[in-house]
Amino acid sequence: MIVIAGTIEIDPAQREIALGKAQPHIDGALTQPGCEAYTWAADLNSPGRIEVFERWTSEADLAAHFEGTHYKSMLATLGAHGLRSADVSKYRVDLREPVYDGDNKPRADFFTA
């Protein structure tokens, strides 16, 4: 699994407009093969910040997304609304477990092999 996570900074006066215009691209990405999650949300503690979270099944699915219309349209939308910077990383996840164990207690450790 691949997780994309990070932040994008845009003109604070345009953030809500940009997120509204981005919604069709987000919805489109969610229809792509291998896209398990694709969420962009306003950071309520920073006026121009957008939090990004995506989850992809494979590198091939992510590569297809990067070549597709939804990704390219998203870049154009952000550029048109005062894109200032982006700090977004990709992570390959080799182990995934629930945060809460059978007793509903949160665990920071990984308890299976």
Residues 64-103 have pLDDT tens digits of: 999 999 999 999 998 999 999 999 999 999 888 899 988 9
For the chain, what is the domain count? 1
Answer whether residue 98 is part of any domain: no
Can you give the CATH number for the domain in which 46 is found?
3.30.70.100
pLDDT bin (cut points 50, 70, 90) of residue 40 is: very high
Answer whether residue 78 is part of any domain: yes
Instruction: Look up residue 21 and give its two tokens.
Output: 């215009």
**Rounded Cα distance, 77 and 83, in Å:** 9
Q: pLDDT for 90-101, tens place per residue? A: 999 988 889 998
Residue 54 has pLDDT above 90, yes or no: yes
pLDDT bin (cut points 50, 70, 90) of residue 113 is: low
Stated pTM of the model: 0.88
Answer whether residue 103 is part of any domain: no
Answer whether residue 107 is part of any domain: no
**Alpha helix segments (H runs only) across 34-108:** 59-67, 69-79
- Domain holding 57, by residue range, is 2-89
Answer whether residue 75 is part of any domain: yes
Answer whether residue 106 is part of any domain: no
Mean per-residue pLDDT over the chain, rounded? 94
Instruction: Look up residue 29 and give its two tokens.
Output: 């990405």
Are 25 and 74 spatial neighbours (Cβ–Cβ below 8 Å)? yes
Answer whether residue 26 is part of any domain: yes
pLDDT at 21: 95
Answer whether residue 83 is part of any domain: yes
